[in-house]
Structures are given as C-alpha cells and as structure tokens.
Amino acid sequence: MRTESRRCNRTVPVVIRRSSLSPQNKGTFVVSLADAVSSLNFHENVQNAERDYGNAISRWARLVSGIEKDRSDTLLRWKLADDIATFRSHLRARWGIEPTNLVRAASLDLGFSYSSLKYMLCLREKFTLKEVRSNRITWGRYQEILDIKDDNLMKECINLVRRGVITSPGGIREFKKKANSLHM
C-alpha cells in the first residue's frame, strides 16, 4: 500500500544515525514526528528502508575489501559509487525516503573517508563505466583530474594522460593549476 507522502510525490527526509552503544547497529533512520505520523504505513516503510540499508552496507563492504586489496583500482570505486547512487534512488522510488546524510553515514559504516566517497561519486557522475575502463587511469590520478573545474579541460587532461603527454602526478597538478586559474 502506498503511503500518503508517496501519493503526493514528496520524499521524506531522514537522517541515518549510528548507535554509539551497539556497533552492530548500522543505520537507524530518524524522521521528524510529523513525518512519522503522516501515514499508517510510514513506520513500516522506514523499517524496510533500514533493512535495505543494512543489506547495501554488506554489499558495499565487499567492494571496499576489493578496493583495499588494490588501492589504485578505479573500476571498483566507480562500481561502489554507482551502487550508492542507485541505492539513494531506490530509497526515493520504493520508500519515499530521502537520506540527507547517506555519504557520511556510509563512510562511517564502511570505514572509508567521506572525501574519498565524494570523489568516487564525482567520478561516477562525470564518467561512464565504459569511459573509466577505456581510460585505464589509476585512482590517484583520477582524484587529481576530478579537481579540474571545467569538464572540457578535465577531459583534455585525461586525453593527455592517455596519450602519454602527461606522465606524472606532478604534470596533472600543473595542468590542473593552469586550468583552474582560467576558470575563476
């Protein structure tokens, strides 16, 4: 049965909170009192969303363990970011819930830095999996490249790296500095 909030095409903001008393408790979803009583089924939707989050964390943890084995693997990082973005869309579409702090909560639950997850999501936003595969650029170099503000200059930098014109992280940083100074 659809909730009232979903009938109005409105997503309910939730905060994902971790219990300091129980490290096994991954992600309690906290909502406002008004949203909690907005429909009869909303509590059930929140519980289902919490269960989905726990399942997602388990899935993401497997990807993180692969990343820890090969820290330069860009493909696994893209896949993790894609799964996080897909999960956010799933919560909106299925349960009418908008997690306000999904990346921060996932970083805590996965033991991964918040900034690293943000870079991964940026990578997924800017490049398709096919592009990441064909570029064959390590994660450290992508992090430098993702800091370039202009998307066209970012792609130009990738082409220069792929062609061997830029061969070092220092070369990427120099290109980034010049590119970003033009984009002020």
> What pLDDT, on the 0 to 100 scale, is given for residue 31?
64
Average pLDDT over residues 95-117: 92
Average pLDDT over residues 160-172: 95
- Whether 165 has a pLDDT exceeding 70, the answer reads yes
Inter-residue contact 104 to 114 (CB < 8 Å): yes
The mean pLDDT value of the chain amounts to 87
Instruction: State how far the alpha carbon of 89 is from the alpha carbons of 83, 99, 105, 151, in Å.
Output: 10, 10, 16, 25
Structure confidence by residue, pLDDT tens digits, 23-80: 555 667 776 666 655 666 777 888 899 999 999 999 999 999 999 999 999 999 999 9
> What pLDDT, on the 0 to 100 scale, is given for residue 21?
44
- Whether 8 has a pLDDT exceeding 60, the answer reads no
Average pLDDT over residues 118-144: 96
Taken in order 16, 88, 81, 66, the sign of the CA dihedral is positive
Q: Where are the domains of the chain?
A: 4-124
What is the value of pTM for the model shown? 0.85
Which tops the pLDDT comparison, 179 or 184? 179
> What pLDDT, on the 0 to 100 scale, is given for residue 29?
72
In terms of C-beta distances under 8 Å and separation of at least 24 residues, what long-range contacts does 33-39 make, across chains too?
35/5, 38/3, 38/4, 38/5, 38/12, 39/3, 39/4, 39/5
Average pLDDT over residues 76-101: 95
Average pLDDT over residues 140-154: 96
Task: Report the C-alpha gap between 137 and 148 in whole angstroms.
Answer: 16
